[in-house]
Amino acid sequence: MRTWQQLSGLDASMLYLETATQPLQVFSVLELDPASIPGGYAYERFRDALAARVRAIPALREKPSERFGNVDHPVWVEDADFDIDRHVHRITLGAPGGWAQLSELAGRLAGLPLDRRRPLWELWIIEGVVGGRLAVLFKVHHSAADGVTYAKLLSQLCSAEPDSPPPEPVAAAAAPTRLQLAVGGLTRFASRPLHLVVTVLPAAIRAAVDSIRRAARGSAMAAPFTAPRTRLNGRLTAQRNVAFARLDLDDVKRVKNHFGVSVNDVAMTLASGVIRQFLLDRGELPEPSLVALVPVSVHEPALGQGRNQVSGMFARLQTQIADPVARLRALAAVTAHAKEHASAIDATLLQDFCQLLGPIVLGIAKRVYARLTQFRPMYNLVVSNVPGPQTDYFLGAEVLAVYPFGPVMHGSGLNITMWSVNGKLHVSLISCPALLPDLSELADGFAIGLKELLAEVG
């Protein structure tokens, strides 16, 4: 029997920091070929196949508990009234059913909040895609999943064969009693000062001293709040827009092998190039380089039970360099320094810090931060590139493409996420139309940038 699990401070912070203009959700858009589904596609059978898989995934049947009587963070409890029809929705894409229409629909759905009274996920089955295909948008609240956890959830809905039987049902954890919640919450809350003195402050001091030493040697990652102000750092609205790009992974590896860098270096260079050209074309390219936040997974069983186990590093994107090869080499060097610097910081520092903070403190902090970043951004955008999960078939339908998306945060109006899946590099961009109304232009720039690098390979 599984034991009940408390939201870590980092998990809970995703609930506390969410606002009407900052929905904190991760999702993906899958392009599917329904021809491989045994017996053919029918909405009811597709939904029922999903329901069978959900019975084997307790995390998709759990919701945050009420905090009544609990002064600490909530716990995950099973929804006693779980109903698959509250989470699965059916919609038909407007004609002609191409990528323009799918992008518009995905942007609208990305901005919709999830119902906190229920397990924090939903899945949209999108019919009417050109060529007789299907699309699926699978969205999970960030409190329930970071990128690694989300990829695991997605892989549990997929299979290596179209007719693979669903796994056996798995029971959810028994819910704690109100007394257990109250006593456990009070005990953990009372231990916070000791946790601050014994764990958090020493780790923070070590990180600060190490950063100063690295800065003196010229080997530190970019410091927070040193990013130039751009249109990316304007005020968010509740609306979202998305765009897609897909590149041949073999072409990316050709560039990697020729210049002796990593796939991530090439991906970062492409992201740097498209945002550089976009701002340059509008006369808005700042002299200093833009700064990206690059999420770093710290998932290790020994580091805790939170569903979010992530840190990050700041990297200057070298947007001041026009030549793509020179930019690639410069980015490879600064990224190596940033990785080394980030790895020297205690992996759990962010989680430990969030463990101390409650909704009131974070509520004040998010308002202050949102205003501060209008004038001095902590960073300009988020860029993430990781290997994607194994996704051959989704509920029997062949997976043709998988586009992953992260949230857009106050002070950083663009998130670029890249997954390598089935021989392709899938590039996903999400922003706010008030800041970047022509997001598809950025997406189109990835193929142009790769073509420029391939021309240098010969």
Widest distance between CA atoms in the chain: 69
Q: Which residues of 88-127 are buried (b: 16+ CB within 10 A; e: fewer)?
A: beeeebeeebebebbbebbbebbbeebeeebbbbbbbbbb
Sheet with 121-129: list strands edge to edge. 88-92, 121-129, 133-141, 25-33, 397-405, 393-394, 158-159
Residue 208 token pair: 């600060």
Catalytic residue among 73, 141, 142, 410: 142
User: Residue 57 burial (CB < 10 Å; 0-12/13-18/19+)?
Assistant: middle
Residue 281 CA to residue 303 CA, distance in Å, equals 45
How far is CA 45 from each of CA 41, 254, 255, 396, rounded to the nearest angstrom? 7, 43, 44, 11
Q: 142 catalytic, yes or no?
A: yes
User: Residue 212 burial (CB < 10 Å; 0-12/13-18/19+)?
Assistant: exposed
Closest of 393, 425, 387 to residue 155, by C-alpha: 393
Q: Following DSSP, what letter does each residue of 92-158 receive, concatenated?
A: EPPTT-SHHHHHHHHHHHHTSPP-TTS-SEEEEEEEEEGGGEEEEEEEEETTT--HHHHHHHHHHTE
How far is CA 209 from each of CA 34, 187, 442, rounded to the nearest angstrom? 56, 32, 39
Cβ(313)–Cβ(432) under 8 Å? no
User: Which amino acid is it at 74?
Assistant: P
Cβ(215)–Cβ(118) under 8 Å? no
Q: Which residues are catalytic?
A: 142
